Structure 1
Amino acid sequence: MICGSFSCKETRVKNLLKSLLPVALLATAVTAGAQDFPNGKPITIIVPFAAGGPTDKVARDLAEALRKPLGTTIIVDNAAGAGGSIGANKVAKAQPDGYTLLLHHISMATMPTLVRNIPFKVESDFEYLGMINDVPMTVIGKPSIPAGNFKELTAWMQQNKGKINLGNAGIGSASHLCGMLFQHAVGVDMTAVPYKGTGPAMTDLMGGQIDLMCDQTTNTTGAIEAKKVKAYAVTTAHRLTVPALKDLPTLQESGLKGFEVTIWHGLYAPKGTPPAIQKKINEALKVALKDPDFIKREESLGAVVVHDNRVEPAEHKKFVLSEINKWSPLIKAANVYVE
Structure 2
Amino acid sequence: MGHGLITLLVLAGGLLAAGAARAVQPPTHAPPASPAAVRLFVPFMAGGEADDSARNFVQSATRVGGPGFEIVHLTAELGAAAGRAVRQAAPDGMSLLLARVGSVAILPALSPRTAAPLSDFTVLAVLDQAPLICAVRSSTPIGSMRELLAAIAAAPGQLRYSTSGAGSLQNLAVRYLLALSGLPGDAAKPVHFGQDSLATQALLNGDVDFSCNTARSIVPAVQSGALRGLMTTAQGRLRSLPQLRNAAELGLRDMQQLQGWSALLGPAGMPAGAVQRWRVLLDKVAADPEWQAGTEALNASARIQAVKDPTPYLRQQGQFYERLVTTLEARP
The TM-score range, normalised by the shorter chain, is 0.7 to 0.9
Aligned to 2:294: 297
SS in 2 for 1:324: helix
Q: Residue 140 of structure 1 contacts residue 232 of structure 1 at CA under 8 Å; is this kept in 2? A: yes
SS in 2 for 1:219: helix
* Aligned mate of 1:212, from 205, 210, 213: 210
Q: Residue 166 of structure 1 contacts residue 210 of structure 1 at CA under 8 Å; is this kept in 2? A: yes
* Aligned mate of 1:226, from 224, 227, 233: 224
SS in 2 for 1:264: strand
Say if 2:328 is the partner of 1:334.
Answer: yes
SS in 2 for 1:287: helix
Moved more, 39-48 or 287-296: 39-48
Q: Residue 200 of structure 2 contacts residue 213 of structure 2 at CA under 8 Å; is this kept in 1? A: no
Moved more, 278-287 or 76-85: 76-85
* Aligned mate of 2:169, from 169, 174, 177: 174
Kindly provide the amino acid, as one letter, of the partner of residue 202 in structure 2.
Answer: D
SS in 1 for 2:175: helix
- 2: CA distance, partners of 1:94 / 1:226: 45
Matches within 5 A, 1:38-77: 41-77=36-72
SS in 1 for 2:321: helix
Identical columns (%): 22
Aligned to 1:240: 238
SS in 2 for 1:192: strand
* Aligned mate of 2:150, from 134, 152, 155: 155
Aligned to 1:10: none
* CA apart distance, 1:144: 4.4
Matches within 5 A, 1:92-241: 92-107=87-102, 108-118=104-114, 120-123=116-119, 125-188=120-183, 189-241=187-239
Aligned to 2:316: 322
Aligned to 2:307: 310
Kindly provide the amino acid, as one letter, of the partner of residue 281 in structure 1.
Answer: W
Deviation string, structure 1 residues 300-338 (Cα, Å, up to 9, x no partner): 443221254634xxx221222222222212211212235
Label 1:69 to 1:256 Cα distance change in 2 as closer, same or farther (>3 A): same
Label 1:219 to 1:90 Cα distance change in 2 as closer, same or farther (>3 A): farther
Label 1:40 to 1:68 Cα distance change in 2 as closer, same or farther (>3 A): farther
Deviation string, structure 1 residues 7-31 (Cα, Å, up to 9, x no partner): xxxxxxxxxxxxxxxxxxxxxxxxx
- 2: CA distance, partners of 1:81 / 1:174: 18
* CA apart distance, 1:240: 1.7
Q: Residue 128 of structure 2 contacts residue 302 of structure 2 at CA under 8 Å; is this kept in 1? A: yes
Deviation string, structure 1 residues 235-283 (Cα, Å, up to 9, x no partner): 12422222xx111111232343543233332100122444322222221
User: Considering only aligned residues, what root-mean-square deviation do their CA atoms show, in Å?
Assistant: 2.6
- 2: CA distance, partners of 1:119 / 1:250: 32
Q: Residue 173 of structure 2 contacts residue 255 of structure 2 at CA under 8 Å; is this kept in 1? A: no
- 2: CA distance, partners of 1:257 / 1:72: 41
* CA apart distance, 1:291: 1.0
Kindly provide the amino acid, as one letter, of the partner of residue 277 in structure 2.
Answer: K
- 2: CA distance, partners of 1:329 / 1:210: 28
Aligned to 2:275: 278
Q: Residue 84 of structure 1 contacts residue 172 of structure 1 at CA under 8 Å; is this kept in 2? A: no
Gaps in structure 2 of 5+ consecutive residues: 1-32
- 1: CA distance, partners of 2:323 / 2:265: 25
- 2: CA distance, partners of 1:305 / 1:228: 28
* CA apart distance, 1:48: 1.2
* CA apart distance, 1:51: 2.3
* CA apart distance, 1:97: 3.4
* CA apart distance, 1:102: 0.8
- 1: CA distance, partners of 2:41 / 2:225: 32
Larger Rg: 1
Aligned length: 295
Label 1:66 to 1:105 Cα distance change in 2 as closer, same or farther (>3 A): same
- 2: CA distance, partners of 1:257 / 1:97: 41
* CA apart distance, 1:129: 0.9
Kindly provide the amino acid, as one letter, of the partner of residue 306 in structure 1.
Answer: R
Deviation string, structure 1 residues 184-238 (Cα, Å, up to 9, x no partner): 2233422222332223222222212122221221332223223343321111242
Kindly provide the amino acid, as one letter, of the partner of residue 246 in structure 2.
Answer: T
Kindly provide the amino acid, as one letter, of the partner of residue 132 in structure 2.
Answer: M
Greater helix proportion: 1
- 2: CA distance, partners of 1:280 / 1:210: 48
Matches within 5 A, 1:12-23: none
Moved more, 127-136 or 151-160: 151-160
SS in 1 for 2:247: coil
Give the TM-score normalised by structure 1: 0.77
Q: Residue 116 of structure 1 contacts residue 337 of structure 1 at CA under 8 Å; is this kept in 2? A: no
